[in-house]
Structure 1
Amino acid sequence: MKILLAEDDHDMRRFLAKALENAGFKVSSYDNGQSAYDRLREEPFELLLTDIVMPEMDGIELARRATELDPDIKVMFITGFAAVALNPDNKAPRDAKILSKPFHLRELVNEVEKMLAAA
């Protein structure tokens, strides 16, 4: 299972990628939404794991574009701003999961495994 990770915080991105790789996932990680979107256009991923507040393209716009490219991609937001993701005006994908920071890496892996098992 391939995960595309978009997180602008270097340390957070490294920790998340390592935890997911240790759980057996293949992770491609990017520090902004535009770079992540460019990669999505090159190959399919099962899950987009994205922060919301990022430079160049925010996570909600990235998620919207990702689901236009691939309606079957699963989306999970990792954010300290859950209310932003939950706002219906921003048109975030309806079935996206939101994991609020701070969270434990085990919790992240469990949620990812649940989402991908439901695919």
Structure 2
Amino acid sequence: MIRILLAEDDDVMREYLARALEKSGYAVTAVDRGTAALPLIEAEEFDLLLTDIVMPEMDGIELAQKAGEVRPDLRVMFITGFAAVTLKAGKAMPQARVLSKPFHLRDLVMEVDRMFEVGEFAGLN
């Protein structure tokens, strides 16, 4: 089973994202900030880091960069509601995907499926 580490500081958004991904067959561990995610990345195996960019204590870009040092094969997808940080994320982590808010939960699941070429969307990219 594909394991996703979700870092999202908005409680409602975190719950919705985790529930949608779990219903689609993914194992999700959810935390409310980057500083909570980093020890998990060091201690456990995850296939995807799904992180908000703008968070307190440690932003998603810094989290992804530190995660990449520990787990170079960890895939990264950023979610953000700020257009300006989308460009910053693309420059900092060009191999990462960026999903801009607002988005439909179906779009999130479709993008994750594409990253792992699973589900009904396999082979569409």
TM over 0.5: yes
Deviations 1:54-83 (A, max 9, x none): 111110000001111111111000001243
Q: Aligned partner of 2:62: which letter?
A: E
Q: Aligned partner of 1:37: which letter?
A: L
Equivalent pairs, count: 117
User: What secondary structure sits across from 2:92 in the alignment?
Assistant: coil
User: What secondary structure sits across from 1:44 in the alignment?
Assistant: coil
Deviations 1:25-54 (A, max 9, x none): 000000000001111111111000000111
Unaligned runs of 5+ in 1: none
* TM-score of the two chains, using structure 2 as the length reference: 0.88
Deviations 1:73-109 (A, max 9, x none): 1100000124313227x86222100000000000000
Higher RCO, 1 vs 2 (CA within 8 Å, ≥6 residues apart): 1
User: What secondary structure sits across from 1:103 in the alignment?
Assistant: coil
Unaligned runs of 5+ in 2: 119-125
RMSD: 1.6
2:93 counterpart of 1:93: yes
Moved runs in structure 1, 4+ residues, more than 4 A? none
Match of 1:29 in 2: 30
* TM-score of the two chains, using structure 1 as the length reference: 0.92
Larger gyration radius, structure 1 or structure 2: 2
Fraction of identical pairs, as percent: 59
